[in-house]
Structure 1
């Protein structure tokens, strides 16, 4: 199916079993077409194949029993999409389409395996443009999508038409659905034969607990794959004009989780690296972090930036120094989600450096 075409008002006949055709039906309905579904004899779910959910809004014509009936049915539609049928029926359909000059396309059937699959999809930092081609393909094929609050979800109905959408997101201090329960839900859906997408913000393997979800699937014998996403650790600083590395300024960067306080031993190593430090989920422990870095030898004038709500219309950046950022953050009422950047590269966001100016222009174009 070519999603770039306008099917509004077009009459589309989908031929195939209910389970195999479920996503094709949903996609054509989502384009505004009038959809008819013809279940061919023999194109039905076999033993062990899960039953498909009914797709509301689909019409069911009577199965043609003669060449004349096939011609009459196909003459009444604009497009025929064959998902699965017998070789004889497909030949009859092709001939009728040729006679009536009706478009004919062939669509891939949904999996009819007794066990479905899980795909962990990195949705990036929230901007639709940063979704990968692989992420879009996985969403298009999904029967059910488990998503969280930091992933891009504004147009989830368009990207995964016909799929069930389940919010399993967490907010700071509030886990409506515990992680283990979310894992059990994903596994149960896959064991029921569904194609499952777990849509996460950023990258599934960067503080996204993707590793735990992969292990849960493997333990249950469920096939699982991972589609990497653009991590906010790099993209959000860039949206504020801050490169995490820069020639002759910083040749390394370290990404850490600020979810819990960092030990003095870890802070000592960070100070010794003399590179860029990027902190995710670090607003709650910001005061302890900057105090610890200063106590263990980091210069007090090291630039620090806090980028809130990266890529959102109300993105905000607060810039200070190691010895002032705590007070500035309190005064500004800084809140999560935010990315903290510590290092000399922060200065590039406010200086007249050509590279920084280019980054700012690119970030502005991407966010527009």
Structure 2
């Protein structure tokens, strides 16, 4: 049998008895997929890893706490044999053969009646890669092929046309802090499937160059505003293109709901009766400090962090921030959109009790090739920004966590 290729097939195990022999690392890796398949799983093993035991405690599997015994595979549709006892494995695979139960053996693929492929998933598609013959099986090779195919489907570099009618609508996608590798997998896939992309200046611009030629890319900063405010014009553009039956992606920097006005766009689409999918993004408020070697929290230093917008000064009547309360906190303060107001912000924090010696880091163009970090204190930050010509976009971190990591490279 080993000279013939395996015949690939997808097993539908929902509600059907599956027996797993052995509760070690192999079972720990394989059980989640069997649980997801809806199988009625019986684990036979005197011991189990903590993760496998947690599955039993949660009622996801039934655990029989003993070694294998003849008859354990009766009525089973599928068996995973993965004990540390070769004799038990051999006896179990012989029982599987007698009862015509498809079984996988972790210790000897040649003696199994089934092989487990390297599998991955992408939007309703399961990719399974199987070595043709047992001899010369290289799990790393099959896993690498699996990973390449799944990654291609997810990021859009491997495009399989949809032969079904797509529902027009808008995807509000958080593009992350700037590095194109930090957009979510789902966001990148939706971007690859778009007909129209309305992009922010702070979105991951490098991804736009990868789009097919037929995709219309609209710079949100250059939409003709006419008598509308900028946000109203963007809302109108989203509605207009979606009503034309196109798949529209609104690509925003960071996360759509962290100072991104994302909900305003969702509300405008809802009023127009247009479906909208929201894809969260990695917020620059935590990712940019991290990329610069600054943890926003650290044991014994900061037990909380607060993210505020600095687009209006503390003494501006439009400000909704309680700067006096923030000055009394001992944790980390992260300020977004505050480069041109940092002098007034620092002055206000000091006036309400924050030490002038409190360290401050400004991280410009975080996570991109142009990233740079400039350090100061509340007492010196206004002059430092001028002297170092710090420009937006920059994330400002205020607090003792600035000094936690390695010293910044000059």
* Superposed displacement of residue 266, structure 1: 0.8
Matching residue within 259, 272, 276 for 1:220: 272
Contact 2:360-2:377 within 8 A present in 1 as well: yes
Question: 2:363: which partner in 1?
Answer: 307
Matching residue within 221, 241, 251 for 1:189: 241
Question: 1:35: which partner in 2?
Answer: none
Question: 1:61: which partner in 2?
Answer: none
* Superposed displacement of residue 246, structure 1: 0.6
1:190-210, Cα deviation, whole Å (9 max, x unpaired): 111111100011111111110
The runs of 5 or more residues in structure 2 that have no matched partner are 1-158, 223-227
Counterparts of 2:196 and 2:160 in 1: how far apart (Å)? 24
Matching residue within 338, 341, 347 for 1:291: 347
Question: 1:244: which partner in 2?
Answer: 296
**Residues 106 and 211 of structure 1, relative CA distance in 2, 3 Å threshold:** closer
Counterparts of 2:307 and 2:212 in 1: how far apart (Å)? 32
Counterparts of 1:341 and 1:301 in 2: how far apart (Å)? 14
Question: 2:392: which partner in 1?
Answer: 336
Contact 1:144-1:195 within 8 A present in 2 as well: yes
Counterparts of 1:112 and 1:300 in 2: how far apart (Å)? 57
Counterparts of 1:160 and 1:182 in 2: how far apart (Å)? 23
Which is higher, the Rg of structure 1 or of structure 2?
2
RMSD over aligned CA atoms reads 2.5
Matched residues, number? 244
Counterparts of 1:316 and 1:293 in 2: how far apart (Å)? 25
Normalising by structure 2, we get a TM-score of: 0.56
**Secondary structure at 2:255 match in 1:** coil
Counterparts of 1:241 and 1:153 in 2: how far apart (Å)? 24
Counterparts of 1:118 and 1:302 in 2: how far apart (Å)? 44
* Superposed displacement of residue 110, structure 1: 5.4
* Superposed displacement of residue 108, structure 1: 2.1
* Superposed displacement of residue 159, structure 1: 4.1
**Residues 138 and 333 of structure 1, relative CA distance in 2, 3 Å threshold:** same
* Superposed displacement of residue 349, structure 1: 3.3
* Superposed displacement of residue 310, structure 1: 0.8
**Residues 279 and 160 of structure 1, relative CA distance in 2, 3 Å threshold:** farther
Counterparts of 2:209 and 2:164 in 1: how far apart (Å)? 18
The runs of 5 or more residues in structure 1 that have no matched partner are 1-104, 171-175, 352-356, 361-368
**Secondary structure at 2:259 match in 1:** coil
* Superposed displacement of residue 273, structure 1: 2.2
Question: 1:128: which partner in 2?
Answer: 180
Question: 1:29: which partner in 2?
Answer: none
Counterparts of 2:260 and 2:240 in 1: how far apart (Å)? 21
**Residues 112 and 136 of structure 1, relative CA distance in 2, 3 Å threshold:** closer
